[in-house]
Amino acid sequence: MALALGAAASAAMAQSPLTFKFGYGLKEDSNQGRAARVFAERVSQLSGGRLKMEPVGAAKLGSDDAMQKAVSAGTQEMMVGSTATLVSVVKEMALWDAPFLFNGVDEADFLLDGAIGQQIMGKLPDKGFVGLVYWENGFRNLTNSKRPINSLGDLSGLKLRVMQNDTFIKAFRTLGADARPMAFAELDAALRSGAMDGQENPFNTILSSKFYESQKYLSITNHVYSPWIVLASKKWWDKLPKADQEIIQQAATQARDFERRDTREEADRALKNLVEKGMQVNVPTFGELSRMRNRMDHIYARDIGEKVGLPLLLQVQNELIGYRDR
């Protein structure tokens, strides 16, 4: 009897309207903003208008780290943000900080959507989160207002904003930069005032955040692939009827597929747009990139190995080798 009542009650709940927020950090006019709108549309369609997801962009709900705290505490329902800022809470997320891990976006999809991506997401519930899907932020490149970065020495002393993430701080300090952690929400002002000389982000973000207005030089390094991760508050999620969880999960997956397509199309065009906006673009030589890569090798083994565990790191290498050989 109790069981039957429970089922009836949850069926009734699944019928009632529900409004919730989905926070993100970039401008509304960005790949993140476009995908957030698609996500909200899909949630509405799949629920016949009963579930209303309200996307709130431009860090109006706070920077990634502030939103993370609110989501895990249960005062904010959902967000999308960088995995890099999550590492302080879920150390296994450090896997995605490994410099030069992927040779292309297909390899990223393969690992993120496969067993390893799921395994790492599986660490989230203990910390108050439910991970739904990974979106693409993309391969990161360097911009700055001082000089083209052609060789290792060019990074020396550069006040470089990095994400609030140990590996990024260590990696860029190892390369000689004066790397300083800062929330993305504060970055534009810091670049404009000269408090920071440079930053690193994918072409899409350099364009949508108008960093070309303060940054003359763009150096193509593709030094790391950054995922974004769509998170729900576990406290909130656990109270949702199963049917509603399924709708949101399905909409998140559809929005992910849209987001990756859209981001890749934009990235293909963005470099040309950035040149038109007046950025001076250079590519360090293969030799110089290799030197940077070699300098970062010990970070890979020590820092990331320590956080994610060597067995997982080896498994990742194995899966990538298998994928490349297929």
Question: Which residues contribute to the site for ligand TK8 (CB under 6 A)?
Answer: 25-26, 64, 81-82, 137, 163, 184, 201, 205, 226
Report whether 168 contacts 93 (CB < 8 A). Answer: no
Shortest gap between Cβ of 82 and ligand TK8 (angstroms)?
Answer: 4
- 128 or 138: whose CB is closer to ligand TK8? 138
Shortest gap between Cβ of 185 and ligand TK8 (angstroms)?
Answer: 7
- 117 or 305: whose CB is closer to ligand TK8? 117
- 64 or 97: whose CB is closer to ligand TK8? 64
Shortest gap between Cβ of 191 and ligand TK8 (angstroms)?
Answer: 12
Q: For 280, phi and psi rounded to 5 degrees? A: -100, 120
Residue 3's CB is within 10 A of a number of other CB atoms, namely 7
What DSSP letter does each residue of 134-185 carry, written as one string?
A: EEEEEE-EEEESS----SGGGGTT-EEEE-S-HHHHHHHHHTT-EEEE--GG
Shortest gap between Cβ of 81 and ligand TK8 (angstroms)?
Answer: 5
Shortest gap between Cβ of 68 and ligand TK8 (angstroms)?
Answer: 11
- 79 or 240: whose CB is closer to ligand TK8? 79
Joined together, the tokens standing for residue 174 give 């190892």
Distance in angstroms (rounded) separating the CA atoms of residues 119 and 111: 11
- Tell me the residue nearest to ligand TK8 as measured from the CB: 25
Question: Which residue type occupies 233?
Answer: S
- 160 or 296: whose CB is closer to ligand TK8? 160
- 37 or 291: whose CB is closer to ligand TK8? 37
Report whether 299 contacts 170 (CB < 8 A). Answer: yes
Shortest gap between Cβ of 203 and ligand TK8 (angstroms)?
Answer: 12
Of 2, 145, 131, residue with least CA distance to 79:
131
